Each structure stands twice: as structure tokens, then as C-alpha cells.
Amino acid sequence: MSSYFTDLAQQYIDGEWRPGTGSWDIIDFNPYDGEKLASITIATVDEVDEAYQAAARAQKEWAETNPYTRRGVFEKALGLINEREQEITDVIIAELGGTRVKAGFELHLAKEFLREAIHLSLRPEGRIIPSPIDGKENRVYRVPVGVVGVISPFNFPFLLSIKSVAPALALGNGVVLKPHQNTPITGGTLIAKIFEDAGLPKGLLNVVVTDIAEIGDAFIEHPVPKVISFTGSDKVGRHVATVTASHFKRSVLELGGNSAIVVLDDADIDYAVDAAVFSRYVHQGQVCMAANRVIVDRSIADEFTEKFVAKVKGLKVGDPRDPETVIGPVINSSQADALTSTVEQAIAEGATALVRGETTDNLVSPSVLTDIPAGSALLHQEVFGPVAFLIPVDGEEEAVRVVNDTPYGLSGAVHTASIERGVNFAKRIDTGMFHVNDGTVHDEPIVPFGGEKSSGVGRLNGETMLDAFTTLKWISVQHGRSRFPF
């Protein structure tokens, strides 16, 4: 594993591994023990330009390559991930502080998305559309957009980079990837290495490890990329949307959430407890789909709360390398401090701490809070960590109102003995995704993934990848001679 942090601590531009030319380094730390994993000299605006130009040059030939040939690269990449699974698992644990369960979950999904990319290479189809003009043949071709810029986050960097990079490449595009500064290897150069070894032609995939303090908006303003795929916070996403729109680019924005898991009066309480604990605390709660709010019908709230609190208290906090650990570190000290402040603010506003977690360096133990005042801003924002808000409600109507009382609309879940009651409940919630009798954290390769309101714009996965990373071109053919009015 250590060789990954040594060999891959570089920029990857036009098929070459090289240091950046910036004046400072990004230091990659293990969030659990503070070990320095890598030091990467950042890429400058010039290198961002070189990466995009390389992608543009390579893309022309790649788009003309037989899609059956293209898909072979993804088959080899999938095989390499299978071969290197243990090493990649170790990298995820070291760089993200992800537990073994989390690493397994991320790798499983990444492989599923690569399998879908194999099929996606053959998915684009053209159409012939009738014309009102005699002898006119209207052909509509689905063609690559050209070059896609991908910005990935720190929480599931391997999966969420591959999720955009692989389909964009499969559909004939070039890609420049900018991973998060906290996960430059897992979310960036490790993926470049896998595709390089899988035989992807040089220049098609480039990775620039850099920071907006160095490059500003150069990554999204650059004239080459026609689509920017961004996964991250709604605050940054709003800026990306504004800049891309002003440059007539398309953006695909997968942003934050303030999801709720709802437990109705006829739910299986023990099962709902299990689903709620997983939905809130998986990967320390650093998941956009995580259930910030646990909304429970008041008639069963006492029993649910007792069992929920008992299960949360039993979650092991500590070293993510330990297979028994459920809660590892959050990504950095700023995140840990923010979570501590969230709990303190809630208690100052009158909330009751049923479980009050402690913070030791980047280890933040789980908290469970209830009696949060209805007007608290905390109920309307994303809390990216192991803090749950328990909210009792009087009946289904109030549950719907409370769930929708947020600027976000990403995911959610409801538990009930009646499937159709659950489906009808789900239809009333303003989200892109909602699950009946399950958790809130799901992603599948062929099901449209995305949110409403401040949770994003556009969808990824399956057929929606065609909308994200291709465009339509109309070519008409006039058989015979047209008649012109003059």
C-alpha cells in the first residue's frame, strides 16, 4: 500500500506522471493517526490547461474507436480492481479513515458501475425522424460532448470519481479529473493508474491535484470542457452552476442532503432501528444520503428511542483498521470541530442529549439529540457526521410536513407495515429518491440518481448517463432537389 502513496503522489497529464509546478504542496494525512501519507506539489493553471488540451487531442480518435474496442478497457480495469482489491481497501482505510465495511461497500459499488460502463459503450443509438418535406431524411446522432471535467468529493472518492469518469470515457469523451484535496490518491491518481494499466490511450484521462487557492475557477471556466460533473456541497455546487452557466456549459450537480428516515405507527420497530442506525452512522455519517433526521410517530416513539439509543451506544468507535470498528475518524479537524459545535449549539437551544459523543482528535463518537426546537436552523441543514436528530411527530400528515421542511431533497426512507401506504407517503416527499422499508443510503448503476431543490441538478446512472455525457446532432439529407422560394 505504501508504494501507492509514494508512486502516485504526482500529477497525471497526457499519459505522463510528473510533479506539479506550483509553489506549495498538498499534504495527504491519515485522518485517524495523523500519519503523513504523501506530499503532492500542486498543479497550476498552466497544468490544468495542459490536461484539458491533452484530453481534447486524444478524444477525437477515441470517439472514432469502435465501441466494442473501447469497452475492452473497462473490462480490464474491472479485472485490475479485483486483483488489487486488498491494496485498494488499505488505501481507502488509510486516506479516508473508512472502516473495512465501508471500504467493501465502496469497492462493490465501484465494480458495479464499471460493469455498467462496459455496457454503456454500446448504448448510444441514432434515430431517423420523419420530415414534412418530400425527400428529406432527418438523422439524429447521439455523439460525445467532447471533454468532461469531473470534481469528486472526499467521502466516497473511489466510487464517485469512477461513477462519472467511467461512463464519460465509455461514451467517447476525454476526461480531466480533480479529486478532493483530502483524497488525492483514492479519488484521483489511483484511478488514473488503473486505467493506464488497463490500456486506456494516453491523454484521455488526466488527473490534476490542486486547490482553488492556486487555480481559482480555471478548472470550470476553461473553454475545452463542455460538461462539469461535480459532487460536493450545495454551497460550492451553486458556484459551479453559476460559473458553468455563464460559459454556456452543462453541469451535473450531485449535492448535499438533509434526508429523513420516517417510522410510522405500524412499522416493525426493531427493523426500523437497524435501518435508522445504519442510515445515520455509515461512514461516520459522512454520506450525502445519510439520515440526519429520524422522524418517529409519537405512539411508538418511546420504544423506538430506547432501542435506537441502546444500539447507538453499542457502536464501536476507533481504529478503522480494526474489523470491529463501526465509527472511524471524520476526514479532518475542521469537520470534527464543526460537529462538536453542532452538538453544543443544539444543547444550548434546548435539545436533550440522549447520547452525547466525545471528540478526540478526528474521532467523533455518535450523538443522539431530541427536543430540538422546531425553529432551529440545525433541522434545515446538512450535518456531515455522526449526529442524529430524533423527532417525534403526531401522525402521517405531520411527518410529511416535517420531512419536506428543508431546502434539500436527495433521499429518504419510510417504514410501515403497508407497502402501498409507504409508496403513497414517498410520492408526497420532495426528493429525487425515496425508499420504502429500507435505509436511506442506496446507489445502483442503472437507476437514476439525483436530488431536487438544493440537492442538485440532473441525474446520473444508467440511461441518464447518455443525457449527462452526450449530445444530439441533427443531420438532414435531401434526396432529390429542394425547392427554394427565391
pLDDT at residue number 3? 87
Dihedral pair phi/psi, residue 473, rounded to 5°: -130, 125
**What is the rounded distance in angstroms from the CA atom of residue 125 to the CA atom of residue 416?**
42
Q: What is the pTM of this model?
A: 0.96
| Residues 110-168 pLDDT 10s | 999 999 999 999 999 999 999 999 999 999 999 999 999 999 999 999 999 999 999 99
| Residues 335-357 pLDDT 10s | 999 999 999 999 999 999 999 99
| Residues 441-457 pLDDT 10s | 999 999 999 999 999 99
**What is the rounded distance in angstroms from the CA atom of residue 332 to the CA atom of residue 377?**
24
**What is the rounded distance in angstroms from the CA atom of residue 473 to the CA atom of residue 410?**
32
Other beta carbons within 10 Å of 473: 11
Strand 36-41 versus strand 25-29 pairing type: antiparallel
The overall average pLDDT reported for the chain is 97
**What is the rounded distance in angstroms from the CA atom of residue 413 to the CA atom of residue 372?**
21
Active site residue 254: yes
- Domain range annotation of the chain: 2-255+455-474, 259-436
**What is the rounded distance in angstroms from the CA atom of residue 1 to the CA atom of residue 381?**
37
Tell me the Ramachandran region of residue 440: left when phi exceeds 0, alpha when psi lies from -120 to 50, beta otherwise. Answer: alpha
- Dihedral, 240, 245, 251, 257 alpha carbons, nearest 10: 50
Cα separations in angstroms, 62 against 191, 209, 335? 19, 24, 41
| Residues 49-74 pLDDT 10s | 999 999 999 999 999 999 999 999 99
Give yes or no for residue 1 having a pLDDT over 70. Answer: no
Bridge partners (DSSP) listed for residue 355: 368
Contact 415, 263 (CB under 8 A): yes
pLDDT mean over 314-330: 97
Architecture of domain 259-436: 3-Layer(aba) Sandwich (3.40)
Contact 209, 26 (CB under 8 A): yes
From the candidate CATH numbers 3.90.330.10, 1.10.150.120, 3.40.605.10, 3.40.50.300, the one assigned to the domain spanning 2-255+455-474: 3.40.605.10
User: Within a 13 Å sphere around the CA of 326, how many CA atoms are in the beta-carbon half?
Assistant: 16
pLDDT mean over 378-384: 96
Bridge partners (DSSP) listed for residue 144: 470
Give yes or no for residue 259 having a pLDDT over 80. Answer: yes
pLDDT mean over 315-333: 97
Active site residue 288: yes
Contact 437, 417 (CB under 8 A): no
Contact 284, 386 (CB under 8 A): yes
Residue tagged active-site, from 288, 324, 397, 444? 288
Q: Percentages helix, strand, coil for the chain, rounded to the nearest 5?
A: 40, 20, 35
| Cα radius of gyration rounded to whole Å, the chain | 24
**What is the rounded distance in angstroms from the CA atom of residue 85 to the CA atom of residue 81?**
6
Same fold, 2-255+455-474 and 259-436: no
| Residues 236-250 pLDDT 10s | 999 999 999 999 999
Q: 2 falls in which pLDDT band (50, 70, 90)?
A: low
Residue tagged active-site, from 50, 254, 382, 396? 254
